[in-house]
Amino acid sequence: MFAPLTKRDFASASTAARLYLRPTAFIDRPHELDDACLRIADTMLWFAAWHISLRDGAHIRSAVVAVPDLDEWIVAMPDALAEGAGAQRAALAHPRGALQLGDRTIRLAEPQIMGILNITPDSFSDGGKHIDAAAAIDAGFAMGAAGAAIVDVGGESTRPGAETLWEGDEIKRIEPVVAALAKGGVAVSVDTRKAAVMEAALAAGAGVINDISALRYDDRALELMAASSCPIILMHAPSAGSNPHEGGDYVHALFDVYDMLAERIAACEAAGIARSRLILDPGIGFGKGVGENLDLLNGLALFHTLGCPLLFAASRKRLIGALDNEAPADARLGGSIALHYQAADRGAQLLRVHDVPETRQALRMWRALRDAALTR
C-alpha cells in the first residue's frame, strides 16, 4: 500500500488524489534552527519536517520533507493539490487562542484537562458511581479543584451494546448537575448527540457541546448549534445511528478519519457555524481496532492541518486492556497516562480523562520538560 513519494509522482496523480501534510521531526529547541522549523498554532510544539502523503485510490506514497523544502514540492504539484497543501500549512499555523466559557478563559497554548463525569448506571468504567445528582455535583467540583479546566457531563452511555436513552430521561440526569456546577463557576461541557438535550444543557449553563456523532445523529442539531455561539466538539464515529460503533471498515484509518472530520467541518461552515467554534476528536475506540487506534495516535499531528483545536480521549479504554493482558477498566491508569502524555506531545489541546489529579501531574512534568528545553 505504501511506497516512496517523489516530485515526479504528482504528474501522474489522478484528479481524485488527496494530499496530507503531517508535522514530524518534533524538536525541543527551535531557536537553534532559526527558520528551519515551524510552530503548531500557538502551542509549545515545533517541528522540522513534513510527512507528505499522496493518496490515490488504494495507493499511498509518502516522503519526509524538511520544512524549508516544502515550497519546492508544492511547485511540482497540480494546482488542486498545491492549493490544498497551502491551505493545510496555513491552517496548522493559525492560532487556536482560548475558549471563553462564561467567566472562564481556557487558553489552548498548552494541554488542558477535561474531566469525565458520567451520570449513568452503565458506562464502561464509572457507571453508577455518580448516578445520584448530589454525588455527581460533588465529583464535578472535585475535578475542577484537582485541575480540570472543563468538566464533561454525560447522561447516556455510548459503550458498545448500550441502549439508547430517551432524551427526557437524559435531561433529567444532567440538568441539575450542569446547573449546579455552572452556578459554582465550573466550566461545563455536555456529552450528548440529541438536540433537545443540547438545548436544555445550554439553558442550564453548559458552555460546550460534545457530540460523538459530529452533529449527524439528530436532524435538528446542526441548525440548533448554528443558532448558538458555543464551542462544539465533533467526534469521529463510523456510524451516525444509535450504535456509534457500527461500521468501521477503513481503507486507511488515519486518512479516513481525517477526511470525515474535514467533511463535517465543511458541513458546519455551510450551516453557518464558524470553524473557530469547532474542536475535533478522532474518536479513539469508536468502531476502531487496536491497530487503527494506534495509527490515529501516531498520526495525531495530522489533524492540526484542519485548523481546529484537538481533543484526545482514550481514558481507561479497551485499547489499554488489549495491550496489557486484558487489564480491567479500573486497572488502566498507567496506560491512560501514557496515551494522553503522547497526545500532549503531539499537540492535543484538550485531554478528556477520568483520572484528573494523576493526569494533571503528568502534564506538569510535560510542561517542565518543555520549559527546560526552551530556556537552557
pLDDT tens-digit readout, 66-118: 999 999 999 999 999 999 999 999 999 999 999 999 889 999 999 999 999 99
Residue pLDDT, tens place only, 184-233: 999 999 999 999 999 999 999 999 999 999 999 999 999 999 999 999 99
| Cα gap 79→351, rounded to integer Å | 37
Mean of per-residue pLDDT scores for the chain: 94
Residues 6+ apart with CB under 8 A from 340: 312, 314, 315, 348, 351, 353, 359, 362
Q: For residue 190, which phi and psi values (nearest 5 degrees)?
A: -125, 130
Cell numbers given for 273 = 457555524
Angle in degrees, CA 316, 137, 332, rounded to 5: 10
> 153 has which bridge partners?
117, 190
| Cα gap 374→194, rounded to integer Å | 45
| Cα gap 309→297, rounded to integer Å | 15
**Mean pLDDT, residues 346-370 taken together:** 97
The answer to whether 105 touches 98, Cβ cutoff 8 Å, is yes
Reported pTM: 0.95
Closest of 130, 10, 108 to residue 63, by C-alpha = 10
Residue pLDDT, tens place only, 253-267: 999 999 999 999 999
Domains of the chain, first to last: 2-93 (no CATH), 98-375 (3.20.20.20)
pLDDT confidence of residue 131: 73
Q: Give me the torsion for CA of 133, 171, 311, 297, rounded to 10°.
A: 90
pLDDT confidence of residue 162: 78
Q: Is 182 left (phi over 0), alpha (psi -120 to 50) or beta?
A: alpha
| Cα gap 212→192, rounded to integer Å | 7
Residue pLDDT, tens place only, 112-143: 999 999 998 755 555 556 678 999 999 999 99
pLDDT confidence of residue 187: 98
pLDDT confidence of residue 120: 86
pLDDT confidence of residue 125: 55
pLDDT class for 250, splitting at 50, 70, 90?
A: very high
Residue pLDDT, tens place only, 167-181: 999 999 999 999 999
Inter-CA distances, 240 with 124, 233, 296, 344, 361, Å:
20, 15, 20, 28, 36
Closest of 161, 193, 160, 162 to residue 289, by C-alpha = 160
b/e code 124-133 from CB counts within 10 Å (16+ = b): bbbbebbbeb
**Mean pLDDT, residues 322-330 taken together:** 94
β-pairing, 104-107 vs 59-66, is unpaired
| Cα gap 58→376, rounded to integer Å | 46
Q: For residue 33, which phi and psi values (nearest 5 degrees)?
A: -110, 0
Residue pLDDT, tens place only, 271-309: 999 999 999 999 999 999 999 999 999 999 999 999 999
pLDDT confidence of residue 161: 75
**Mean pLDDT, residues 154-175 taken together:** 89
Q: State the burial class of residue 16 (Cβ atoms within 10 Å of its Cβ: 0-12, 13-18, 19+).
A: exposed
Cell numbers given for 223 = 441548525
pLDDT class for 183, splitting at 50, 70, 90?
A: very high
Residue with cell 517541528: 47
pLDDT confidence of residue 126: 58
β-pairing, 59-66 vs 2-4, is parallel
Percent of the chain with pLDDT over 70: 97
Residue 50 clears pLDDT 70, i.e. is over it? yes
Residue 163 clears pLDDT 90, i.e. is over it? no
Q: Which residues are catalytic?
A: 317, 352
Residue 32 clears pLDDT 80, i.e. is over it? yes
